[in-house]
């Protein structure tokens, strides 16, 4: 259809004439509300960004001569990070004479990797880097899966609280009419 007729048709329906495929012969145009189109595409992009998972690397620092309780606490943090779907970089810092015994750090990292094997895997094996020994653990499940599970758990907790509140209010309402 000629350009003049297309513009006239767009004005008649109070729409915009938008060029869809400029490289095609003849060029392809479409009648649409361009403002509404831009708004909807911006909302789709915003929703996609909201659901996008950002890869985060959490870091946990240890020493070769760590107390058992401190080890359990640090391991608990690593477990929490892996459950959230984050990668964990574990650094063992050596000081003084500890530098001559890197096998202590290696054994500690292997023990930690074995303890959290059900939640994550060794992404990069332990390697000495100057005074530090570094290992990276990756989660078995993706960040998006972890986020979805967290949302479901939060919704379940909220529903449980609402049900708890409703059952707590019912006896109070029944007692008031009996007193009156």
Give residue-wise pLDDT tens across range 94-128: 998 988 989 999 999 999 999 999 988 999 899 99
Task: Verify that 72 and 47 share a domain, yes or no.
Answer: no
Q: How confident is the model at residue 84 (pLDDT cuts 50, 70, 90)?
A: confident
Q: Dig out the tokens for 99 from the structure.
A: 């530098």
What pLDDT score was predicted for residue 68? 92
pTM of the model: 0.58
11-62 pLDDT tens trace:
988 888 888 888 888 888 889 898 998 999 999 998 888 777 677 899 999 9
Sign of the CA dihedral running 74, 77, 79, 82? negative
In terms of Cβ atoms closer than 10 Å to its own Cβ (0-12, 13-18, 19+), residue 146 is: middle
Task: Verify that 75 and 45 share a domain, yes or no.
Answer: no
What pLDDT score was predicted for residue 153? 85
> What are the helix (H) ranges across 2-142?
3-12, 34-51, 68-83, 102-115
> Between residues 160 and 109, which one has the greater pLDDT?
109
> Between residues 140 and 178, which one has the greater pLDDT?
140
Helix (H) or strand (E) holding 30: strand 28-32
Task: Verify that 64 and 119 share a domain, yes or no.
Answer: yes
Task: Verify that 92 and 121 share a domain, yes or no.
Answer: yes
Query: Residue 113: which residues within 8 A CB-CB, separation 6 or more?
Result: 122, 135, 137
Assess whether pLDDT exceeds 70 at residue 4.
Answer: yes
Task: Verify that 34 and 62 share a domain, yes or no.
Answer: no
Task: Verify that 85 and 121 share a domain, yes or no.
Answer: yes
Q: Is residue 95 part of a domain?
A: yes
Q: Is residue 32 part of a domain?
A: yes
Task: Verify that 80 and 119 share a domain, yes or no.
Answer: yes
Inter-residue contact 143 to 55 (CB < 8 Å): yes
Q: Which domain holds residue 126?
A: 57-139
> How many domains is the chain partitioned into structurally?
2
Cis peptide leading into 172, omega within 30 of 0? no
Q: Is residue 102 part of a domain?
A: yes
Bridge partners of residue 19, in order along the sequence: 29
């Amino acid at each position: 259809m000629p350009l003049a007729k297309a513009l006239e048709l767009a004005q008649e329906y109070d729409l915009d004439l938008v060029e869809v495929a400029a490289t095609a012969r003849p060029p392809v145009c479409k009648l649409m509300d361009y403002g509404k189109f831009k708004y909807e595409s911006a909302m789709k992009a915003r929703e996609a960004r909201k659901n996008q998972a950002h890869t985060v690397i959490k870091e946990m620092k240890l020493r070769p001569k760590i107390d058992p309780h401190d080890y359990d606490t640090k391991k608990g943090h690593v477990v929490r990070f892996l459950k959230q779907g984050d990668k964990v970089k574990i650094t063992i810092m050596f000081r003084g004479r500890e530098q001559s015994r890197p096998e202590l750090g290696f054994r500690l990292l292997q023990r930690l990797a074995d303890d959290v094997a059900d939640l994550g895997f060794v992404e990069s094996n332990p390697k000495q880097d100057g005074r530090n020994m570094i290992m990276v653990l990756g989660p078995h499940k993706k960040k998006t899966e972890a986020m979805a599970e967290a949302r479901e758990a939060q919704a379940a907790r909220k529903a449980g609280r609402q049900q708890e509140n409703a059952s707590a209010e019912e006896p109070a309402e029944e007692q008031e009419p009996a007193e009156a």
